[in-house]
Amino acid sequence: MFVLDSHCDVPSQLLRGRDLSKDNVRGHVDFPKLRRGGVDASFFALYTPAWFSPDRATRYALEMLAAVNDALASNPGEAVLTRTPAEALKNKEKGLISIFLGMENGSPIQKSLSLLRLFKSLGVSYMTLTHNKYNEIGDSAAGIAKWGGLSPFGKEVVAEMNRIGMMIDIAHVSDRTFFDCIALSKKPIVSTHSSCRALCRHRRNLSDEMLRALSDKGGVCQINFYPLFLSDRFASSLDASGLDPIADKVENQWQADPLNPKKCFKWYAVQDSLAALDFRPSVKDVVDHIDHAVKVAGIDHVGIGSDFDGINVTPSGLEDVSKIGSVFDEMKKRGYSDSEIEKVAGKNFLRVLSEVQDVPERGL
Ligand SMILES: [Zn+2]
């Protein structure tokens, strides 16, 4: 079975001193954990915060990309930067983990299709159009709507991503931006890390109508493990605790001073408080979302995008990527066949990536 995680936030952790060769006590992803989890491909997201200026976002995305390249260069027997499904399958045969790049938030491309093409040429396979605020491309699920969906530039971006064979990721966008992408894109689109709104009301999740539209377009919804996107009861418990703004503040302080151990330990303490909250979801809740997405979108249109290292609390039983197999064990218990589990574990996402990359000019 080929196991693929379509979204994690390792690159920003590299800038905070993460050593991927070690089995880190804290942190969700490193090579030993990927190996124990049997993960064949992981998408490292170059995430830029929505409040960064465009110049700062471009610089930060390049710094993260450089850090990923350095980490791969110092671990040659472990993993390799990968661009296509064919390469990923060959890497598995050689015993190498495939690391793909995604870009989370389109602000590093500023208002330039040339920069979009540059990031593609550097190995970025998908771009999450926005993060938690509108940008030059379109409106986000969070904050005010500036454009009423995609901006005029965002429409050009969608066409160019189709032309160069880059995946359009609609995790984080507003509903109207989503439906603009559905209407405009000539290729399947994906959500690399969202869950189901029918089970948890959060605005980042996809409604049944959106799941059906994604499926009709041939795309895939990769279920996110973030407890806040899995359970309304957990969301209420988090709200009541008052921890959410504290967690944001402490994480931002760590980000501003990434190699300061005091900031880091403070962040760990917040993570421990979050994990102790009532109604923390478990792996069963993740599979409830998979069940629902399969029911609405079909077994060919669902996968997993953990959001590990980008989330401040995980479901119990899914504390880091080494435990990802517990999702498939739970699916087996619920009666999914091996071939159905294989689709969710990675086959569906690889199929969509192949379809998106099937362009006459191979992109550039
Ligand atoms: Zn995200």
How many whole angstroms from its chain centre is CA 52? 20
Domains and CATH numbers, the chain: 4-230+282-357 (3.20.20.140), 232-280 (no CATH)
Is the Cβ–Cβ distance between 127 and 161 less than 8 Å?
yes
Find the 223 Cα to ligand 1 centroid distance in Å. Answer: 12
The two three-digit tokens of residue 293, written as one number: 């997405």
CA of 106 to the centre of ligand 1 (A): 12
Q: What is the pLDDT of residue 362?
A: 56
Answer for the pair 82, 91: CB distance below 8 angstroms, yes or no: yes
Ligand 1 geometric centre to CA of 131 (Å): 7
Q: Give the Cα separation of 167 and 219 in Å (integer).
A: 10
> Measured between alpha carbons, how far is 95 from 77 in angstroms, rounded to an integer?
8
Which DSSP string do the residues of 87-101 spell out, in sequence order?
Answer: HHHHHHHTT-EEEEE
Rg (CA), the chain: 19
Are 126 and 192 in contact by the 8 Å Cβ rule? The answer is yes
What's the 177 CA to ligand 1 centre distance in angstroms? 16
Q: Which two tokens stand for residue 78?
A: 């472990």
Instruction: Determine the distance from the C-alpha atom of residue 78 to the mean position of all C-alpha atoms in its chain, rounded to a whole number.
Output: 21
> Taking Cα atoms as reference points, which of 280, 284, 282 lies closest to residue 271?
280
Token look-up 């905070």 returns: 16
Does the pTM surpass 0.85? The reply is yes
The stretches in the chain having pLDDT less than 50 are: 363
CA dist., res. 57 & res. 52, Å (int) = 6
> β-strand 97-104 against 124-128: which pairing, if any?
parallel
What are the beta bridge partners of residue 80?
A: 98
Give the distance (Å) from ligand 1 centre to CA of residue 103: 10
- pLDDT at position 361: 65
State the Cα torsion 13-15-19-23 to the nearest 10°: -10
d(CA 267, CA 261): 10
Helix-helix angle 232-241:243-256, to 10 degrees: 80
> What are the tens digits of pLDDT across the range 63-73?
999 999 999 99
How many Å lie between the centroid of ligand 1 and the Cα of residue 255? 16
158: helix, coil or strand? helix
- What is the 335 CA–ligand 1 centroid distance (Å)? 30
| Local structure of 63: helix, strand or coil | helix
Residue 170 CA: distances (Å) to CA of 22, 151, 194, 313: 33, 14, 9, 23
- Taking the C-alpha atoms of residue 125 and residue 103, their distance in angstroms, rounded to an integer, is 8
Rounded to the nearest angstrom, the distance between the alpha carbon of 360 and the centre of ligand 1 is: 31
The type of residue at 228 is L
For tokens 């296509």, name the residue: 84
Q: How far is the CA of 171 from the centre of ligand 1 (A)?
A: 7
Quick check: 192 and 166 in contact, CB under 8 A? no
The H or E element spanning position 102 is: strand 97-104
Residue 115, judged by CB atoms within 10 A of its CB (0-12, 13-18, 19+), counts as middle
Give me the DSSP letters along 216-284: HTT-EEEE---HHHH-HHHHHHHHHHTHHHHHHHHHHHHHHSTT-HHHHHHHHHHHHHHHTSTT--BHH
Q: What letter would DSSP give residue 75?
A: -
* Eight-class DSSP state of 344: I
Structure tokens at 232: 């309304």
Place of tokens 């060959």: 90
Expressed in angstroms and rounded, the spacing between residue 98 Cα and the centre of ligand 1 is 21
